[in-house]
Amino acid sequence: MSDYSIQEFLEKTQRKAAGGSFSLQSSRILEINLAGQIWAKMGSMISYTGEIKFERERAFEHGVERMFKKTFTSEGGELMKANGRGKLFMADQGKQITILDLDHRKITVNGNDLLAFEPTINWDIQMMRKVAGMMSGGLFNITLEGEGKVAITTYFEPLTLLVKPGDPVYTDPSATVAWSGHLTPEFHTDINYRTFLGRGSGESIQMKFEGDGFVIVQPGFETE
């Protein structure tokens, strides 16, 4: 049904009561009950109530080392800081949102798929040296660790693959959303004369995960 009276539409789409710091108003809209500060992807705010101020991440806000990574490796996403008290609503191009409670665990997230995280979480840019020159635009990833909530985004329903010793998992870099923080992916190439002749599968670069952990992938992604 897509034909509503005004009252029916309001009842169907109005904000639902939510609890906790992070909650979902729908599978594609994140609500943050802000009472202090959070970090979020630049441009992800769609609405808010209360007294909230937004500020772009300053060049040296997180130290010289992180600024060096962002400037000289082209790795690192644009972050904004939201300060204040109120209800903050966030989204990212209609992508599906998943809220994760780290509970003192570590996870690495593709920078394009990280929506927001609480300030109690320690984070750093994960340098992907081997990808330089292999993919246009490269990749940047952010490792998060500690206690607090993290919101990630995916195109449609995510799939989690378990990585076991002796049984590596290979993924398309563009489809790879996140993985266990202690895993270190390697880039595996499958380039032969068919690739250069335009007859290959197109999957000439893959990420290879070995060890004991998990990898989260998505079934859709943007292509250049």
Q: Write down the number of H helices and E strands in the chain.
A: 3, 16
Mean pLDDT, the chain, whole residue set? 82
Q: Which of 123, 32, 17 is nearest to 82 (CA)?
A: 32
In whole angstroms, give the CA distance from residue 147 to residue 150.
10
Q: Cβ(85)–Cβ(110) under 8 Å? A: no
Residue-wise pLDDT for 197-217, tens only, equals 454 444 578 899 999 999 999
Q: What is the DSSP string of 41-61?
A: ETT-EEEEEEEEEEEEPPTTT
The answer to whether the pTM exceeds 0.95 is no
In whole angstroms, give the CA distance from residue 78 to residue 220.
23
Domains of the chain, earliest start first: 19-217 (3.60.160.10)
pLDDT at 58 > cutoff 90: no
